[in-house]
Structures are given as C-alpha cells and as structure tokens.
Amino acid sequence: MIIAINARTLRAVPHDGIGWFTHEVVRGIVRDHPEHRFVLIGDRKYDVLPVESENVGYVTIPLRTFHPVLWYKWHELFLPGVLKKIGADLFVAPDGIMPLRTHVPCIPVIHDLNHEHRPGDIPWWERHYYRRYFPLFARKAARVATVSEFSAGDISSTYGISREKIDVVPNGVAAIFSPPMPGEAEETRKEFAGGRSYFLFVSNFSPRKNVEAVISAFNIFRSDNKSDHVLLLAGRRLYLTREIDRALEASPYGRDILFTGSVTRDVLRRLYGGAEALTFVPWFEGFGIPVVEAQRCGTPCILSDSSSLPEVSGGAALCVSPADAGAIAAAMARLVSDEALRRRLAEEGIRNSQRYTWENAATQMWNSIIRATNNNP
C-alpha cells in the first residue's frame, strides 16, 4: 500500500501540538509498518530529513504555504496530480487540510474546532478558510481522526457527521518527560527563577490560550499571599497578543513575570519538574499536550474546567473556570499551602499520563488507516 502524508507541518524539531503529532505519529507508523511505502509530501526541501527509512520517499510541491490562498492552491491545484502520479492508496492530513479534488480516500486529523466556537481568536483569513473548508473535509473524508473524545463529539455535532466515522487518536507523552532527579528542581529554580518557587504556563501565545487570565490570577495570588513566587511563561508568540502585553504592563508584579521563549524538550522537562504547578487555563482546547507532559513529571496542574481538559487530565488536576481569575488564584494558593494535595495530584497525574504514549497514537492512527482503506466503520 502507498500512503501519502501531508508533511507541511513536519519538522525535524516541531514547535506546536500539531507539529509534534505529525512528527511522532508519522515516525511511529513508518517504523511499525515497513511492508508499506510512505510518501511525505511537503512544500519545501529539508536540510535534515525528519523521518529516514527505506520505506519513505519525499515529494516537494515548491509553493510555500504561508497564507490560506496558497493553502488552497497547493492542496487543490497541485496535490491531486501528485497523488495520482505516485499511485497513492490513501492520503493522511495531520493538520486537517485535505484535497477535495481527488478520488484518493483521505483521513484529515481535525484537532479541534476552536475556529467554529471562538472565531475571533484567529486571524480573519485563517478562520474564513477553516470555517469554509473544514466542514467539507469532514464530510468528504473516508475517516476523520481527532485527539480526544470531546473533539470527536464536537466534530460530529457541529459538522453533522456520524460519530462512527470519527477515530480518536490521542496525543502522547515523549519518553524524555519524567519526575526530576534529586536536587534538579532546586537547580532549575535557581537558573530560571532566581531560586524562587514559580508557577508555569506552557504553550504558544494566542488569544484562546488565555494568558491574560493567568497573569491576572498571579496578581491576585501575590497580593493575597505573603509570597515571592514567580510566573514563568514558556512558549512563543503566534498572533493577536496585544492583550497579553497590556496585562503585563498593568501588572504590579511584572518584574516577576518571566518569558523563557521556546525551549527544548529537555529544558521543558526541567521546567515542569521545578514548578509549583502548571497553570493552563485556555478558553478552548482539543487536547492540551502540556497537561500530560506536566503530569508525567509529577507536577500538579491547574486547568480549565471546560472543553477537553477534564477528560485528558483524568480528574488528576484542579479544574476551574477560565473566566474566573479569582478561582485560578485560589487554586494556586491551595496548592502552595496543602502539601498532601500536591502529593496526591502528582501521584494521580503520573498514573493518568501513562495512558498517553506516542506508540499508542501511532497504533490508533494505523487502525484508522485500515478502516479507511477497508471502508469499514
């Protein structure tokens, strides 16, 4: 079987959730199924090949897809011909974008429907594309994959397709994530927070991540408690981040709110291990990889009580309204003062995170591929 994969989001070092999903799942199915050929179709040549194997080939459609107009041209004008030329039996789209002008069966991975529920969180040209084409992708697809039961139900009800057509392929936790070694947490606090305890936020910065609420909650926590805690924000800016800048400028504790920028997985492991808690309260989330990474490191989590996060966290977290900075601050104070609660959430979190592995994600993706090629529910 020849399986074509949209490799536009495939990087040697990914920088977001979809990128890590693509990287880990593609590597997994290629490794586990040497009897099949995989053709990775991208929009640029690689200096370092992200996946190297005898059963992998690369095809480049040399049109850099940095705008939705170019997404359309790449997928509808060029990609169908490539699929026909290579004799593809199936096309997998890890970022959810598939060609409509092809007879090749397709599986789009639709990670979430934030563009439907919170369209103002996304630049207008992107949300227009998503809202116009993603319903068409979901209806035309042989199968649809997504990353949580929450997202599966949301896609089914929002786009009016049968839940039986949707396969859940949860994200995983990389093996590098584990509880800190003795003394490592203290060294991390010295390096990144001047030796002080800190709360940690991990994600790229965009409106739906609700960074302003984390900053507001930190302000309340510092005001109400005799504490010198720091807030570390780990990630990179995406778009529409002006409100974050305003929140920082207005914070009386702005000097104690520190940006790390993008970090490597090893540094991220250390940041999780040294943190008082992960404070992650997005408005909307299809999965939330930082949750299970933090849990694997034994770090308690303060999370939104909505969308996929209660499901993914397995109940091993303090879940609060993302609209209530006071409730987030109260959760911060509770974790600082209650050592027994911290230990319980750490232990339960480690157990919960063990449900999520990239090996399992690759297996579930392969199961979806088999269903699509056999046309089975």
Report pLDDT digits (tens) over 194-249. 999 999 999 988 889 999 999 999 999 999 998 999 999 999 877 667 888 899 99
Alpha-carbon span 295 to 287, nearest angstrom: 14
Alpha-carbon distance values, 4 to 41, 98, 329 (Å): 7, 11, 47
Same domain, 108 and 67: yes
How far is residue 121's CA from residue 7's CA, in Å, rounded to a whole number?
Answer: 25
How large is the angle between the packed helices 339-353 and 289-296, nearest 10 degrees?
Answer: 110
Residue 367 lies in a domain: yes
The amino acid sitting at 74 is W
Judge if 10 and 159 occupy the same domain.
yes
- Over 70: is that where the pLDDT of 171 sits? yes
* Distance, CA of 43 to chain centre: 22
Judge whether 179 lies within some domain. Answer: no
The pLDDT-based confidence of 46 (bands split at 50, 70, 90) is confident
- Same domain for 198 and 154, yes or no, is no
Its pTM surpasses 0.75: yes
Same domain, 196 and 323: yes
Q: Rounded CA gap, 298 and 286, in Å?
A: 22
Same domain, 240 and 367: no
Residue 166 lies inside a defined structural domain of this protein: yes
Residue 242: predicted pLDDT:
82
Whether 349 and 364 map to the same domain: the answer is no
For residue 38, the surrounding DSSP H or E stretch is strand 37-42
Indicate whether 192 and 98 sit together in one domain.
no
Rounded CA-CA distance 51/94 in Å is 15
Give the span between the Cα atoms of 158 and 82, in whole angstroms: 32
| Total of domains in the chain | 2
Rounded-to-integer distance, Cα 235 and Cα 151, Å? 24
Q: What angle do CA 322, 299, 94 make, to 5 degrees?
A: 70
Cα distance between residue 231 and residue 251, in whole Å: 12
| 348 lies in the same domain as 292 | yes
Q: What is the pLDDT of residue 17?
A: 80
In what helix (H) or strand (E) does residue 31 lie, and over which residues does it extend? helix 17-32
Q: CB neighbours of 167 closer than 8 A, spacing ≥ 6?
A: 143, 144, 145, 146, 364, 367, 368, 371
Q: Which two tokens stand for residue 185?
A: 């947490």
Looking at the structure, tell me whether residues 348 and 361 fall in a common domain. Answer: no
Give residue-wise pLDDT tens across range 119-160.
989 889 999 999 999 999 999 999 999 999 999 999 999 999
- pLDDT given for residue 241 in this prediction: 75
Mean pLDDT taken over the chain: 94
Same domain, 214 and 275: yes
- Co-location of 147 and 194 in the same domain: no
Structural domain contains residue 201? yes
**Range of the structural domain that residue 221 is part of:** 184-353
Examine residue 232 and state whether it is found in any structural domain, yes or no. yes
Q: Same structural domain for residues 165 and 194?
A: no
Q: Residue 208: which of 269, 326, 120 has the closest Cα?
A: 120
Give the domain CATH number at 60.
3.40.50.2000
Question: Would 163 be classed as within a structural domain?
Answer: yes
Indicate whether 154 belongs to any domain: yes
Q: What is the pLDDT of residues 71-82, one digit of tens each?
A: 999 999 999 999
Query: Which residues, at least 6 apart from 327, have a Cβ–Cβ distance to it below 8 Å?
Result: 320, 321
Residue 255 lies in a domain: yes
